A and B are shown apart, each in its own frame.
Chain A
Amino acid sequence: MQSVPALEWHLYQQMYLIRRTEETLLDLFSQGLLFGTVHTCIGQEAIAVGVVNAIDKSKDVIWSNHRGHGHFLAYCDNIEGLIAEVMGKETGVCRGIGGSQHLHYNNFYTNGILGGTVACAVGSAMAEKKKNSGAITVVFLGDGAMGEGIVYESLNMASLWKLPVLFVLEHNQYAQTTPTSLAHTGDLSNRPKAFGIETREIKADNVISVNRLAQECVHKVRTQQKPLFITMHTYRFAPHSKGDDVRPAAEIETAKRSDPLTHMRWALAQINERRVASIENEVDMRIIEAVETVKQQLVLAPEMFFAGRQP
């Protein structure tokens, strides 16, 4: 039997875990057990998993965004902390106060407003460089965020000050319901070049290729102490949040033919189907248990939250 490197099993396990966790969140939403909003990255998992597994999780900093569950799970595997946060429970990573779009855990940060995180990422890269920690910063942004002016201020400063930051553009072709063609002109992947930033581009439907490219880029950013920008072409199979999809069904179906999860599963199953099934089974059980546990948990006591208000 052909052997599969441990890393590849791990990448598959994480992609599967992200996909199932987000599908579970959408289910919980439909059942009325989840209040607010969720933005899933279903279809884009190869980016979160490929990139996050290329960094040094013990010290590198990640800035994510409103569509950040995948990045979060790839970073810390904390299913229960995420589900609890999205369900508004006190055991969530931000005690249910931040919710889906506002997560923080160790060196991982998100914010629900687009663009500004890119400037914060440049700042954390600058701080780590000043501290000589050897850490780099990775920031995930979408094609939608490329409409914000602060992104270009940030690219300029990152390049000007030679900061170790890796920009990862998840180009999923839509900003909420607006196709890129109605929002942007020119080629987004070329824009960083105007700031003297080296760029890469990849179709992100194969997690192994994404991871290989990310490893190369992370190494380059760390050793050369300057920014790098990767454009990753992808597609989200689920709506922007929930029930707000106006894209043509045929387009979505075509895109699903390059589902990174299905493709990797097929390849791995050729070699060891039992192991694939066992990985999936284990993840399914963990998610079911996490949901059952979280359902029993409480919302943060009002006096605990409002104790933090200003007089």
Chain B
Amino acid sequence: MTTYLGSLQLHLQQLLSVDSTVLVMGEDILDPYGGAFKVTKGLSTKFPDRVITTPISEAGFIGVANGMALRGLKPIVEIMFGDFITLGADQIINYAAKFAAMYQSALEYHLVIRMPVGGGRGYGPTHSQCLEKLFLGIPHITILAPSIYHDPGLMLASAIQQPGPVLFLEHKLLYSQELITPANSPFAVNLSDESFPLVRLTNNTEKTADLTLITYGGALWLPALLQKMAEEEIWLDVLVPSSLNQKAHPTLAVSASHTGRVVIVEEGAGPFGWGAQIAYDLQHAMLNRLTAPIAVIHAENTIIPATQALEQLHLPNLQKIEQKIYEVLS
């Protein structure tokens, strides 16, 4: 059994073994602690020169990583909680994302910023957010969000080969989860043949799907939803992209034009998010084939409460999604 965490740990070790230009930086990442979520566990013991623990200076050490990347190294930076990325926004938006285009230079530039995101752990307003919305739409940033249906370690290995900066979102509820593959999944799972694949899941391979459900990242409610809908004989075509800062994957429109009904689920708060952009792209691609308005579910438009009962109500959850599916189908 491979967990999400295990895959990341394994591929980080491999990356450092095969490529001497790769190095890892972040807060509290050294052994024996091995990082707040243990992703770097064991790394500093094996590669003491290339695993660098930093002061609490996100702006500064993302800047240092920028300088290293421009000079030919491949830094993988860990931001302890994705919420702290705001501190490094200038280095990402006005430096990393701009170097190649602003200098009009074919720079060899590789930088991955890993960040645990998302709620469900009771960490409250500043340690639970999905802030990727702040970076979506900024040109020349790749934003990746592997789910448990992807192989996060494999995606990390591709991410460090990607030109330009990559924000790599790891939903913190996923670390302990077993990865779902076509071999061990109770539902049909397909991955597109891309470095950052689109995952397609369905609860009935025989029947035409009734509804297209689009989501990314955490989405731990998904197996229960597929099961529940199957019991109701509602057939879902579920699409889980792993690359966010781009137009809707063409397969999304293909699926949606068959079902005519679309529900998009994202964990970020409120409007103006990824779901709104995907809905916009889809209505362009298939205006006459929609039989219901596209629905977007996101977290409530307020801060994330620390108290568990309210946090669960705040985030997208099984009940909210089920409810929305029935609405769209009726």
| Distance (whole angstroms) from the CB of B252 to the closest CB of chain A | 15
CB atoms of B104 and A98 under 8 A apart:
yes
Do residues A113 and B60 form an inter-chain contact, with CB atoms below 8 A? no
Q: Which of B64-72, B230-238, B297-305 contacts A (4 or more CB under 8 A)?
A: B64-72
Which of A95, A150, A160 lies in contact with B104, CB distance below 8 A? A95
> Cβ of B103 < 8 Å from any Cβ of A?
yes
Of the candidate stretches A34-42, A220-228, A303-311, the one touching chain B is: A303-311
A120 touches B67 (CB 8 A): yes
> Which residue of chain B has the shortest Cβ distance to A153 in the bound complex?
B60
- B65 & A123 in contact (Cβ 8 Å cutoff): yes
Question: B90 and A127: CB pair below 8 A?
Answer: no
Neighbouring A residues of B103 by C-beta, 8 Å: 94, 97-98, 102-104, 109
A61-B71, A124-B67, A311-B247 given as contacts; is B91 within 8 A of A153 (CB)?
no
Contact B90 A116 (CB under 8 A): yes
Tally chain A residues at the interface, Cβ within 8 Å: 40
The answer to whether B104 touches A94, judged by C-beta atoms less than 8 angstroms apart, is yes
* Contact between A310 and B60, CB atoms less than 8 A apart: no
Please tell me if the beta carbons of A111 and B94 are within 8 angstroms of each other in the complex: yes
Given contacts A94-B102, A154-B63, A156-B60, contact A127 B55 (CB under 8 A): no
Knowing A98-B102, A122-B67 are in contact, say whether A127-B72 is a contact too (CB < 8 A).
yes
**Contacts A61-B71, A119-B66, A157-B64 hold; do A310 and B102 have CB atoms under 8 A apart?**
no
CB of A186 closer than 8 Å to a CB of B:
no
Q: Is A82 interfacial (CB 8 A cutoff)?
A: no
B residues 38-67 near A (Cβ < 8 Å) are 49, 52, 54-55, 57, 59-67
Q: A102-B98, A153-B55, A310-B246 are in contact. List 20 more A-B contacts (CB 8 A).
A: A95-B104, A97-B101, A97-B103, A109-B70, A119-B60, A119-B63, A119-B64, A119-B91, A120-B67, A123-B68, A123-B69, A124-B71, A127-B67, A127-B68, A130-B49, A130-B73, A149-B59, A154-B60, A154-B63, A154-B64
A-B contact pairs, 26 of them (CB 8 A): A94-B102, A97-B103, A103-B103, A104-B99, A116-B94, A119-B60, A119-B61, A119-B66, A119-B91, A120-B70, A121-B67, A122-B67, A123-B63, A123-B65, A123-B66, A123-B67, A124-B67, A125-B67, A126-B64, A127-B67, A131-B72, A150-B60, A153-B59, A153-B63, A157-B60, A157-B61
